Amino acid sequence: MITLSITGMTCASCANHIQDALIAIRGVSNARVSYEQASATVAIKKETETNAEVKEQVLIDAIEALGYSAKVVAPDCCNNTGVAKDKNTDELHVAIIGSGSAAFACAIKSAERGARVTIIEAADVIGGCCVNVGCVPSKILIRAAQLAEQQRSNPFEGLENHIPILDRAQLARQQTARVEELRAAKYQHILDTNPKLSLVRGFASFKDAHSLVVRHDDGFEQVLSADRFLIATGSQPAIPPIPGLAHGSSQKVPYWTSTETLFAEELPEHLVVIGSSVVAVELAQAYRRLGSNVTILARSSLLFREEPLLGEGLTTAFEREGIRVLDHTQASQVHFEDSEFILDTNQGMVRGDKLLVAIGRSPNTRGLNLDAAGVFTEPNGAIRVDERMATSVPHIYAAGDCSSMPQLVYVAAAAGSRAAVNMTGGEARLDLSAMPAVIFTDPQVATVGLSEQEAHVRGIETDSRVLPLENVPRALANFDTQGFIMLVTEAGTNRLIGAQVLAHEGGEIIQAAALAIRNRMTVVEMAEQLFPYLTMVEGLKLCAQTFSKDVKQLSCCAG
């Protein structure tokens, strides 16, 4: 009999899920999990009672794969108090370069599994991109801009529109305050209260595969050795090689990246945006709604890597709001004269008092001396990792924007956590087959799984349906029917393999589709599910129904 203590359960259903996973393990004859006692007892078949330590780790790995933490408990030690025993006489040392989401997820999980963790950070503040200059401040800005637009223009008769009174400087101060609050709560507090974690300030690079050189601000260099390493150095805004922007120019051109755009205390009269993907479209619409004129220069078209209907629909929405979108447009030269940007393009001259360069982000891997450690990178500098987050060197891992994984903060955190499991003797993989993604424009763009084009590249025959939002009762009640829901299935099986959504609050819809894909549901099964009425997510059910019927012929909330 093996007894384990479990942390992370929030209800009795958690205990049931863990119990099912334990019983499914080969060699387990029975298992009982108690939510109230936060423990599990596992009976092992007699013929497999040898090599008990291996079986204990298998049980722990199965529990941690579900998102919980577990330790073996020795009931006969410590006066029968059931205190978890520490089987590691030599403490494993994990060194993490970076202090963002991937880094802290790895640090916390490594510490939970008994390791000592050293975090090395070169920046003035900890927390990485998301909390400091990414997700958190951008969503504050986008939400404020949305509320301003709703005051300026709403679809309801009898509700008077008015011009919003906006203080950009005060909004920027509120953004900064919330960023500092979250950084303190989610990063600094964890450092201060977890004795397993320590922070070293300085720039780290590899001396060899088993040690780092950490250069401090005062020039002092410290050699730090560890058993395992995680590289989680994140990314930075990429700058295209356009004459006038290039590094080394005789005169610094004061263009904005996303960082300056997020915290600027004055609104430009005319913002020109180079870029057509996530950051470009989110910030372009936010500034238009805050009161600036906006022109977007798209090398191809908006969201050209996504299902074409998404980019087309977003372009239409932007143009309705007065955003000028120039497709297939590239700048060949940038001038800055008399506080004005002048861009020479293949569609003529474009002028604005501010310029945002938002073509994507580049991995922060330069200067790490990865060659000295034998770590392979992709041509763009991203560290090549497998589904275990392992690099080309077995004891060195990478996670987050600096790796070849998608540049999404929740992917970074999941990758960091799984890397920690693998560093400390476990076995965890990251499955991205049902990875949802959201672009926070209005309407929002939300996707999961495969588009039709992606499926065809993989040799998968597809069937698909597109449901305009005018068929979704909640959209009609909102007087906002911009957008659509598209479902992609595997032809022949009707199994859902992809979903694309363009809708107000589309990000609140997509997770249901992600769960359906994860559980290999067919559109027939989805159409038979109960969805609450009136909700936007009911649109998934309605779109699923279009594979077999005309939803225009159904009554409200028809099953």
- DSSP secondary structure string for all residues of 24-44: TSTTEEEEEEETTTTEEEEEE
Higher per-residue pLDDT: 206 or 75: 206
The pLDDT score that the predictor gives to residue 246 is 66
> Is 11 one of the annotated active-site residues of the chain?
yes
Residue 75: the pLDDT is: 42
Q: How many residues appear in the chain?
A: 559
Q: What is the pLDDT of residue 148?
A: 97
- Chain-centre distance of CA 63, in angstroms? 24
**Cα–Cα nearest to 171, from 152, 151, 146:** 146
pLDDT tens per residue, range 38-78: 888 888 876 554 444 447 888 998 898 887 888 886 443 33
Which CATH architecture group holds 258-359? 3-Layer(bba) Sandwich (3.50)
pLDDT (0 to 100) of residue 57: 86
Give the sign of the dihedral formed by CA 432, CA 435, CA 439, CA 445: positive
Please write the tens of the pLDDT for every residue from 518-540: 999 999 999 999 999 999 999 99
Q: Which of 1, 68, 77, 435 is catalytic?
A: 68
Question: Any catalytic annotation for residue 543?
Answer: no
Does residue 9 carry a catalytic annotation? yes
Quick one: what percent of the chain has pLDDT higher than 90? 80
Residue 32 to residues 16, 390, 400: CA-CA distances in angstroms? 9, 34, 37
- Is the distance from CB of 163 to CB of 129 less than 8 angstroms? no
Residue ranges matching CATH 3.50.50.60 in the chain = 93-128+177-237+362-423, 258-359
Q: How many of the other CB atoms lie within 10 Å of CB of 83? A: 14
Fold of domain 93-128+177-237+362-423: FAD/NAD(P)-binding domain (3.50.50)
Which superfamily is assigned to 437-553 in CATH?
Answer: FAD/NAD-linked reductase, C-terminal dimerisation domain (3.30.390.30)
Residue 83 is predicted with a pLDDT of 29
Q: For residue 167, which amino acid is it?
A: D
Query: 258-293 pLDDT, tens per residue?
Result: 999 999 999 999 999 999 999 999 999 999 999 999
Mean pLDDT score, 87-101: 83
Per annotation, catalytic residue among 1, 9, 255, 543:
9
Q: Which of 521, 533, 543, 556 is catalytic?
A: 556
Question: For position 260, what pLDDT does the model report?
Answer: 96
pLDDT of residue 28: 86
Which of 358, 353, 360 is closest to 293 using CA atoms? 353
Q: What is the pLDDT, as a whole number, of residue 164?
A: 96
Active site residue 402: no
**556 in active site:** yes
Q: In which band, very low, low, confident or very high, does the pLDDT at 364 lie, cut at 50, 70 and 90?
A: very high
Instruction: Decide if 129 is catalytic.
Output: no
The pLDDT of residue 31 is above 80: yes
Start-end of CATH 3.30.390.30 domains in the chain: 437-553
Residue 491 half-sphere exposure toward CB, CA atoms < 13 A: 9
**How much is the average pLDDT of 135-151?**
97
Half-sphere exposure of 496 (CA within 13 A, CB side): 33
Model's pTM, two decimal places? 0.82
Fold of 2-80: Alpha-Beta Plaits (3.30.70)
Phi, psi of 118 (to 5 degrees): -115, 125
Mean pLDDT for the chain overall: 92
Radius of gyration of the CA atoms of the chain, in A: 26
Q: Of 106, 129, 130, 405, which residue is the catalytic one?
A: 130
Burial 160-173 (b: 16+ CB within 10 A, else e): eeeebebebeebbe
Whether 325 has a pLDDT exceeding 80, the answer reads yes
CATH 3.30.70.100 residue ranges of the chain are 2-80
Q: Are 422 and 94 in contact (CB under 8 A)?
A: no
